[in-house]
Amino acid sequence: MSDVGTRWTERELAFSNALHRAVDEASPASSPPTATRPVAAPVDLGRRRRWALAAVPALAACVVTVLVVGIGLATRDEPTPAASTPPRLVVHDPRMLHGTWDVDLPSVSAETVTASVDASDFTVYVDGCGEALAWNAHPDGLLLLSNAYGDIRQLGGSTTACTDRADVAWAEQVRTFSFGGDGTARLADRDGDTVATFRRVGEPPLPSGPEVSVAPLPAALAAPTLAELRGRWVEPGALEHWLAFDESSMTSSPDGCNTNTAGFVLSPHGGFLLSRIQTTTAVGCEDQLPGWPAGYFERVGMDGQQLVLLDEAGGELGRLARLGADAPGGPGSVVGRAHGRWVSPGWPEEGGGLYVTVEGDALRHDYDATCRDLVGYRLAADGDVEEVLPQDLPGCSGSVPLLDRPLAGIALDGEELLLLDGDGNVIRRLWRVGP
């Protein structure tokens, strides 16, 4: 008998002895022996081999039990896969974009493209003729370029007559920047695809000013996604302070009258960057905007259902609630979606117009600027009027009736608010003026 055969025989003997003891201990004393058909074996191991073959059914049960217990133990010992997390927060110093660059622009057909960047201008020259772009950058690696100036510049030493504007349509696609170890800078769009590759010419200028640093979100806050940010937000108790976000732009009002509009980009860590802000001041609004933080924050975070605005040092500037969050049925109900301010034509100059505010579970409509909150209504989630809340304000008695029939409910038709009578007919159509 070979050595291999001897080793296997010894293992078989030890294994069958262990099984024999296990089955004897597990089986009742009165259990009859199991009859099996004799099986030939290459080596006669005597009664123990024959018993082991006869005990195959019991053996199978034991093996299954051992496997199940073993699998359970192995499962407990295996580490739980970590939840997906955003990439590590890295500081990207915008000052490192300063200097002179050769530019590779796949979308532009030109012999030479160069760039000259300083603190105020981001000028790109296409075949010697350049456009000065406005630019804004964030240490999270966010970058926005806009053709806000419109002036045409000629590269020094160029003999080209610059009468046509350079092709800078690519600049509107840029959302992020990053640096490579080979002296390059990569500008990418919102999907992470390369828009332009910058290769430095000469030595970079020495950075001036304080060192750039990043204050991460506090541990209690979570970075919002674009889907979570989208919609209208108001400062609790101050409906005139509001922000509205869509996929790429933000509109805000610090006072319910003036509005700011700008494009924005959001980082996976809550970094928030605005493009050039355009301010609209309506007739009758004060020119000076109050110091409300909308438009001046550097990072945003979510604390439950609240949107938290933070400055560059991580200090909290304000908290906003989603518009309609305190409405019956929440922001998705008819009343929740109607939250805000609405007007009908003719208010207030022509007389007979209507100014309506929907907030919480109430609708208030005003005849003019002095007779505010003349009549109020308590609303159900579906927009039906549950209770009329008349208010007798001094100096407002004898005013022209606001509605020619009783208000029974409200509904939404696209971007219009409908005031309905008891038969479902439209009394007035109103247009949103904010938020």
* φ and ψ of 384, to 5 deg: -70, 145
Question: Residue 215 pLDDT more than 60?
Answer: yes
pLDDT recorded at residue 417: 93
Q: 328 lies in a domain?
A: no
- Give the H/E segment covering residue 129: strand 129-138
Helix, strand, coil percentages for the chain (3-state, nearest 5): 15, 35, 50
pLDDT in tens, 9-33: 454 445 445 544 544 554 444 444 4
Count Cβ atoms within 10 A of the Cβ of residue 233 and give its class: 0-12 exposed, 13-18 middle, 19 or more buried.
buried
Q: 41 is in which domain, residue-wise?
A: 3-77
pLDDT recorded at residue 12: 47
Mean pLDDT of 38-49: 37
Q: 140 lies in a domain?
A: yes
Return d(Cα 339, Cα 329) in angstroms, integer: 12
Return d(Cα 176, Cα 174) in angstroms, integer: 6
User: Which of 342, 345, 308 minimizes the C-alpha distance to 412?
Assistant: 342
Q: Which amino acid is at 48?
A: R
Return d(Cα 402, Cα 246) in angstroms, integer: 34
* pLDDT greater at residue 4 or residue 341: 341
pTM, to two decimals = 0.65
pLDDT recorded at residue 206: 81
- pLDDT band for position 399 (cuts 50, 70, 90): very low
- Cis (ω within 30 of 0) for the bond into 290? no
pLDDT recorded at residue 37: 37
Q: Which of 24-28, 250-254, 381-385 has the highest mean pLDDT?
A: 381-385
Q: Please give the structure tokens belonging to residue 169.
A: 């349509």
Give the least confident one: 329-343, 381-395, 400-414.
381-395
Judgement on whether residues 315 and 341 belong to the same structural domain of the protein: no
Collapsing DSSP to helix, strand or coil, 294 comes out as: coil
Which string of b and e fits 74-112 if b means at least 16 CB within 10 Å?
eeeeeeeeeeeeeeebeebebbbbbbebebebeebeeee
- Cis (ω within 30 of 0) for the bond into 32? no
Judgement on whether residues 117 and 148 belong to the same structural domain of the protein: yes
Judgement on whether residues 33 and 72 belong to the same structural domain of the protein: yes
Return d(Cα 356, Cα 349) in angstroms, integer: 15
Average pLDDT, the chain: 74
Any idea what DSSP says for residue 30? T
Number of structural domains in the chain: 4
Judgement on whether residues 71 and 15 belong to the same structural domain of the protein: yes
Mean pLDDT of 383-409: 71
Return d(Cα 228, Cα 247) in angstroms, integer: 11
pLDDT in tens, 70-116: 333 333 344 444 445 666 778 899 999 999 999 998 888 878 889 99
Return d(Cα 8, Cα 13) in angstroms, integer: 9
- pLDDT band for position 41 (cuts 50, 70, 90): very low
Question: Residue 317 pLDDT more than 80?
Answer: yes
Q: 131 lies in a domain?
A: yes
- pLDDT band for position 6 (cuts 50, 70, 90): very low
pLDDT recorded at residue 174: 95
Q: 395 lies in a domain?
A: yes
Count Cβ atoms within 10 A of the Cβ of residue 223 and give its class: 0-12 exposed, 13-18 middle, 19 or more buried.
buried
Mean pLDDT of 45-57: 36
Q: Which of 169-173, 195-199, 290-294, 332-336 has the highest mean pLDDT?
A: 195-199
Domain endpoint, select from 186, 201, 216 = 201
Q: 408 lies in a domain?
A: yes
Q: 52 lies in a domain?
A: yes
Contact 142, 265 (CB under 8 A): yes
Give the least confident one: 11-15, 134-138, 144-148, 317-321.
11-15
Mean pLDDT of 312-336: 87
Note the helical H segments in 163-291.
Answer: 226-229
- pLDDT band for position 393 (cuts 50, 70, 90): low
The separation between CA 325 and the C-alpha centre of its own chain, rounded to angstroms, equals 18
pLDDT recorded at residue 87: 66
Domain endpoint, select from 155, 185, 201 = 201
Give the least confident one: 40-49, 72-81, 138-147.
40-49
Mean pLDDT of 414-434: 89
Q: What is the CATH number of the domain that holds 409?
A: 2.40.128
Contact 262, 274 (CB under 8 A): yes
User: Which of 5, 80, 84, 9 minimizes the C-alpha distance to 48?
Assistant: 9
Judgement on whether residues 99 and 197 belong to the same structural domain of the protein: yes
Residue 221, Ramachandran bin (φ over 0: left; ψ between -120 and 50: alpha; else beta): beta
Domain endpoint, select from 12, 43, 77 = 77
Q: 303 lies in a domain?
A: yes
Return d(Cα 210, Cα 138) in angstroms, integer: 15
Q: In sequence order, which residues have a C-beta less than 8 Å from that of residue 373 and are 6 or more positions away? A: 364, 366, 391, 393
pLDDT recorded at residue 281: 66
Q: 218 lies in a domain?
A: no
Counting other chains too, the contacts that 358-361 makes at CB distance below 8 Å and 24 or more residues apart are: 358/410, 358/417, 359/239, 360/326, 360/327, 361/327, 361/328, 361/335
Q: What is the CATH number of the domain that holds 140?
A: 2.40.128.270
Judgement on whether residues 23 and 52 belong to the same structural domain of the protein: yes
Judgement on whether residues 270 and 190 belong to the same structural domain of the protein: no
